[in-house]
Amino acid sequence: MLLVLLPPIGTAPQVRVATLAALAGLQREVGAAIRVLTVDEVSHPSVVHSFQATDLPCFVLVRQGVELLRQGGLPEGERIGSLLLEKLGPVCGAASD
């Protein structure tokens, strides 16, 4: 599962729009191997704060409760999808990601 921790809606609307657009493309790229979920700081502040992210948006790849990768800011380029799939290893098609 890829958690995308988002800042409050009013803080950086252009970053939020760019992030959501990038996530739609990323979800298409990784397909069913990784579920991409957004977590808004306003709606779920305890979840966002539990990750102690200093840079929002923040991408956190988690499998079975274990953090595999964390990246602050908006990832650039097409490399992020393949990097995420590499981090999952041979079980990238498992439903428990």
What is the structure's pLDDT at 92?
A: 47
pLDDT of res. 9: 73
CATH of 2-91, one of 3.90.1710.10, 3.40.30.10, 3.40.50.300, 2.40.50.140: 3.40.30.10
Which pLDDT does position 62 carry in this prediction?
Answer: 93
Give pLDDT tens digits for 15-66.
778 778 888 988 998 999 999 999 988 889 899 889 998 888 889 999 999 9
3-state SS, one letter per residue, for the chain: CEEEEECCCCCCHHHHHHHHHHHHHHHHHHHHHCCEEEEECCCCHHHHHHCCCCCCCEEEEEECCEEEEEEECCCCCCHHHHHHHHHHHHHCCCCCC
Domain ranges of the chain: 2-91
Q: pLDDT tens-digit profile of 63-83?
A: 999 999 998 876 666 678 888
